[in-house]
Structures are given as structure tokens and as C-alpha cells.
Chain A
Amino acid sequence: MRRFGWRDAWLVLPAVALMAWLDWHGLRSWFHQDDFAWLSLDGRVHSFAGLLDALFRPAAQGTVRVFSERLFFLGLERLFGLDHRPFHLVVLATQWANLVLLCWITLRVTGSRLAAAAAPVFWAAGIGLAVPLAWLSAYNQILCSFCLLAAFACLLRWLETGRRRWLAAQWALLVFGFGVLEIMVVYPALAAAWCWLDRRRVPRQIWWMWGASAVFAAAHMLLIPKQSEGVYARHWDFSMLRTYGQYWSLALGGNLEPEHWPLSWLPRRAVAAITGMAAAAWLALAWRRGERLAVFGLAWFTLALAPVLPLRDHVSDYYLAAPSIGWAWVAATALQAAWSRGLWLKAAAALLLALHLMYAGAAHRATAEWRYERGLEARHLFLALERAAELHPGRLIVVSGIDNELFWGAFYDARPLLQQRICLDPRSAAAIQAPAGFGHTSEAFCAPAGIADAARGRRLAAYRWDPVARRLRAEARLYRHRLPREWLGLPPSRIDTASQADAGWLGEGWYQAEAGGRWTSLRAAVTMAAPDRAGRHLVIQGYRPLEPPSPAVWLTVLVDGVEAGRYALPKDRPDFMVAVPLPAPGGAAAMRVELAVDRPITAPGDRRVLGVMISRLEYR
């Protein structure tokens, strides 16, 4: 085994230079898509319990990636706010470490400087790294690659020296990796595969790691609900073989559309097929010659990809990030082997691999630039919305002109980060398609009754997104002018009980308005606009003084005579807010909401039968 010294550091430089060129834009992408959901975690942390919830509550298809998503976003957002650069610096530093580790491992196992320099280049050029280097939510792929490579490097050192600290380091990386990305469970299989290839036996200590992975996998499957439909549904059948083939095709030939192929006459699938056949021939030869790293490369690619193969309907290029390390070893060892043969073999290998690099690199760069553009658009929209909220405090801000891509790229997830209620014009709902199994997007759309309320109360601000100038153009006057007249006749979707303007919608069971709201008796009724779409919630804000220790007070909410929810009022604070799921619209313009409290409260000198003080009812 050849040692990696400082003099060998230059071996990483070609890959670093290639990465700089391919990911120049990607590494400067602004936040987009899921990034906003992770950034909004900080707003939920107000206590230690809130921190635990933010760190460990399953999210995004039931995952709990504590280090690569939760702490990564929480920590950096707290330190730097919405500055994307420190986030990318962390990504970049991790990826540099990955390239050095890959170089170190390759040199150590093959003893070839050519292979050690080539492996990081093949990996860096691949399509698998384009998204993780550009999209911060996919940092888990980079950090998981680090865990896998570092653990494998520790394995090599452990096998070489027998020192327990290298085994301990593997364990530490394995356990840490469970909090990075689920595919870390395959590490024991990778370690076992290498031990078998290297020594034809698997040490007992490696089998213990299988136990840890099995426990993690079992806990993950049992404790965290999985989607049974939609793109994240798992299909444990022969389709996994086809998916495996699709990933090989992506890894070898990229994913570009015909108009972007580097050689217009040579389809990407042909490049994948030619490179794939050459790789298969090399692997057969490598197996006979005992070229461990080449064969291990195939095992790595397959095992690291295995956990995502059941996701038949969600073949994603970035799932190739860690598996592509295996391909890099196959390609680098092939190049090394060819280089020690005659000129023709050298030329053939160089030509084939150059073809692969051309197609993979072009796809990589195009993907990175697409992400950069999405980030740029998201940045403009987010900052414009933030500016609009700043200019119109307390108003309802209605936005039009957002297309499906920008909705999912920025608008939907960015809303919780804004200080104010901003929603889309409900007439634009047809342009937005929710992915299968996603559920409702209702909260992102204003209700017609809410818009009418705001227009009547002069609390309406309206903007239209200009996709060319990437700006929001105010159009409140025109928007009010074009408001459908039938909307203006709707009952309100928000009732401020103390407001005289809303008093006409209150039914029986209400007392006189007071500062901050209005007391109900044991039962009170109000008429509001019926929900315009499924998935709406009626948010009720109120107050009831705390009483000496006694059973909880129950608030029951009925909608059109049917119980919609029953809630125990908090016993540790007097104010409360409940969100009652509303039934799907049934065609009526109005609904009757009744509030019932199970026992009264008495105040000294006040002979009224009091239920709760309600300040506002509003559906969202």
C-alpha cells in the first residue's frame, strides 16, 4: 500500500479545478424549495422541548436527519440568518474533504497516482453531485458521502494496523451517519464486502455493525410512518431492476435532452451503453485478475444505491451522489490498467472515458445552472414578498402570477418565514399542481371571503409577479376593480368579535363587546363564509382566566350543527388558540359556527354566566 503524503496533495487538484468549473454557479445558489422549510425551524424553537421537537420530529417523507438537515440549518441560520454563503462554505469544505479521502483511499489501495487523481475527477464530473452541491437541502448526500468514505478509510487503517481506535472511529461515523442520511445503514455491507475481497473473511467486529444497522433500519421502518402512495411509495418488486438500470444510465450518460447533447448525433443512452459495456468487460477482467478496488466499486455503487431502488417513481439524479464513488473507482482502475498497456488500449480507454466525462460533465453543469437560476428566482420573490410585508403591515397581501415551478420552488415553503399573511389569488389555483400524495395546499391560497373582508376593511394589498423583471408589481387598485362582485356579497371569513362592523354576524349567546373581544355565555353562534376549498382550518383565538386546580374546561365547536372538534383549554395559561379542521365545501355560501363550553366561570360582582372570551375567528 502506498502512503499518501503532502507531496501527493496535488493529486486532488484536477478534481478541485473541475468542480470549480462545473459548480461555479451551483455553489452560489440561493435557498429554494425545502430549504425554506428547514430555515423556518428556528421560528419553532422557543424552549428546550421546542428544540427537541425541531431536531427529532419526522419530516420530509418521515426522515430524521438531525445533523445534515436540522442542525445544519438551525445552527447556520441562527449564526448568519438568511445568508446562503456560509451554508455553501460548509458544503464546499465537506466536499473537499471527500475528494481528499477518495484520493487517499485510491492511492492506498491501488498504489497508482494516475488512479488516485482520476477517481476524484470521475466522481466530481458525475451528475450525482450537481444537485447536492447546489441545493442546500441535499447537503445530506455530501455529508453522508463523507461518513462513508471516512469510515471506509478507517476500515483500511484498522485492517492494516489492528488498532482499536480505527474500529471505534468507524463506529462513531456509523452512528453519526444514521443522523445524516438513511443510506448509512449500508456501511456494514460495504465494509464486509471489502473485507471479503481483501481477505476472504469478514471480521467479527464488522458483523456487530450489521446489528446496529438492523436496529436503525427496524426503528426507522416501525416508528416513522411511510407513504403508501405518491412518488415516495416503495415498490419491492422487479421494477427495482429497471430502476437500477436507469441509475446506471444516468450515471454514465447524464440526463440531458437531445438539444443539449455535446455531440448532437450521439444520444446519451448510446454513450451510457458503450461506456457500460466497456465497464462490464473491465469488471470481468478485474474479477479474474483480483483487482479489488474495481470489483469493490461495483459493490459500492450497488449497495449504496440499494435503499432507494424501491422508489420506482422517484428516480433522482442526486441519489447517485454517494453510489457514484463506486463508479469512480471502476473508471479510475480501468484507466490505470489501460495505461500500462499498448498505445491502442490507452487511446481507446481515454476516448471512452473522455466521452463519458463530456456527457456527464455537461449534464452536471446544466443541472447546477438550473438550480442557480431557481435559487435566483426564489431569492427575488422572497425578498420582494418580505418588502411587501414591510410596506403593508397588518394587511392581507394577495399575490398573482406565480407559476407552478415558482410556487413549489419558493412560495409554498417560504411563507412561514414571512412576518405576515401572504397568499395567492384563489383563481390561480388551477395553475398549481400538487404532487401525488402531497395533500392540501389550501393555506397558500386566500379565501374569496377573506379577500372581500380585506377589501371592505381597506386592508387589502395586491401584487402581481413579473417573471421577466423578477419583481412584484403593486396592483391593488386594479385588483379591487376586477374583484368578482359575488365575492363582495360573501359573509366574512374573519370575525373580530369586538368590532362593530362584524357584530351583525354574531348570533345568540354573546355579551357586549369589551376591550380585546367579547364574552360568550355557555353557548354562542356566529355566521361566517363557508370554506371555499377542502383543507381549511377555523382558527379561534380567545381567553379564559385560570381557575384553581380543577378538571380541564372543554370547548366544543360545531359547524352547521355537526361537531367539528372538541378541545381542552390549556391549564397553564389563560389565552388559547385552536385550529378546527373544516369540512369540505358543500355549495353553501355561509356556515353557522357554534361554540359550547362545558362549564361556566364566575367573576366576583358579575352575575352573567360566562363561557369564554373570544377575540377572533378566522379560517385559513
Chain B
Amino acid sequence: MRILAAAVLMLATLGCRQARHPHPELTVEEPSRLKSAIEATNPADEEQLLEGFYDPDPGGWRWTGQQFTVSLGVPEELRGKEARIECELWIPEAGWTDLAKLTMTAQTADRTLGQWRAAKPGAQTAVFAVPAALTEEDAILVDFVLDRSIPPRGEETRRLGVVATKFRLVAAGR
């Protein structure tokens, strides 16, 4: 009986509904402001490389797949104005046999921004015009689609696109 009484007493002292604690660590929120210029190998820009990027290689470059998507912030001064997206990339000599005359298409959810064709291997910049209608919001998401890729070969099991380095959203006339 005494044991029962003690147990009831203990339960009664515990019997206060605990306040709920928030758990901010259990959700990873999107950055409220996106950068308009990002680097593919900069960990701080990781959240804007949405899909289609492999983990950075030890050599400091980062391969894409045949399709990849990035988000870029639209700065206040570009809102509602025509702009352009610059994509700096690198095509290695060794991959040129597979990627020769590669065509890259940039598109948003419901329109194509344009196409760019690689004329040679090495470092280069693909530029795509962005109409004013697409810069009205605070961010723009762009899918890049390649018409060719390097198939898995030997020890390399990935299907590779290009080595992406930088993406920028800049004013059209710059």
C-alpha cells in the first residue's frame, strides 16, 4: 500500500504537461535570399545547385550529369528587366570525342531560354538571354540539358556532362 501511495505521489509530481520544444534542426529551410552568382565548388553555394551535380572531385572540379538545375537569385536592380545567364564550364580534351559539337539547352519551367553550342574543348562561357517576365520574382530556376554525354567507361561509373564552374545572372546589356 505504501509503495502504491509513493508511486501515485511520484506520478502526480511528474504530472505536469511539459511545454513543447521547437526542433529547428529537423527541417532544413531554403535560403530566403539566393545569390545571383554561384560557384559549383563553393560549399556555401551548395543549396543553389539543385539537381544533377556529382560530388566535387578531389582535383577541385565538379562534373554535372546530362541534365542539371540551378537556382539564382534575382537582385533588386534586375527585377522586371531583361537579363542573361552566364554559365562558365570546361570540357576536357579527353572527353571531346564524346562531347564534340555538344549543344546545351537552358530552360525554365515553361519556356526555353536558348541553346549554346560548344565549338572546342577547354574553358568557355555559355550565355542565355532571360526575358523580363522571368525576373519578376526573387529567384529563377534553370534546367540545363545536354544533348551528349560521356558514358560510363572503365572505372568511371558515372555518366558525365561537363565540368561546371560558375553561374551568374547579370544585366542584359552588361
Spell out A's residues near B (CB within 8 Å).
78-83, 86, 93, 380, 383-384, 386-388, 390-391, 463, 466, 470-478, 480-483, 485
Contacts and interface: CB of A to CB of B under 8 A. Distances in A.
18 contacts: A79-B15, A80-B18, A81-B17, A383-B23, A384-B23, A386-B20, A387-B26, A391-B29, A470-B26, A471-B28, A476-B30, A478-B50, A478-B71, A478-B141, A480-B109, A481-B69, A482-B109, A485-B110
B139 A477 contact: yes
A457 to B, nearest CB: 15
B85 to A, nearest CB: 15
Give the interface SS of chain A, mostly helix, strand, loop or mixed. Answer: helix
B71 A78 contact: no
B29 A481 contact: no
A463 B27 CA distance: 9
Contacts of A387: 22-24, 26-27
Contacts of A480: 109
Interface in B30-76: 30, 50-51, 69, 71
A483 B110 CA distance: 10
A485 B107 CA distance: 14
Contacts, number: 69
B27 A82 contact: no
Among B24, B26, B108, B139, the one with the most A-chain Cβ atoms within 10 Å of its Cβ is B26
A86 B22 contact: no
The size bracket of the interface on B is: 20 to 34
B109 A474 contact: no
B7 interface: yes
Contacts of B27: 384, 387-388, 391, 463, 471-474
A383 B21 CA distance: 10
B11 interface: yes
Nearest to B19: A81
Contacts of A482: 109
Nearest to A475: B30
B14 interface: yes
A417 to B, nearest CB: 11
Given A81-B17, A83-B18, A86-B14, A477 B24 contact: no
Among A475, A476, A478, the one with the most B-chain Cβ atoms within 10 Å of its Cβ is A478
Interface in B3-21: 7, 11, 14-18, 20
A80 B11 CA distance: 10
Nearest to A485: B110
Contact of A481 (B14, B17, B109): B109
A205 B29 CA distance: 67
Contacts of B25: 471
A80 B27 CA distance: 25
Nearest to A93: B7
Contacts of B28: 466, 471-474
Nearest to A480: B109
A478 B14 CA distance: 46
A470 B11 CA distance: 33
A328 to B, nearest CB: 25
A79 B26 contact: no
Contacts of B29: 391, 474
B20 A81 contact: yes
Contacts of A470: 26
Contacts of B18: 80-81, 83
Nearest to B29: A474
Contact of A474 (B16, B22, B30): B30
Contacts of A474: 27-30
Contacts of A463: 27
A80 B110 CA distance: 51
B168 to A, nearest CB: 18
Contacts of A388: 27
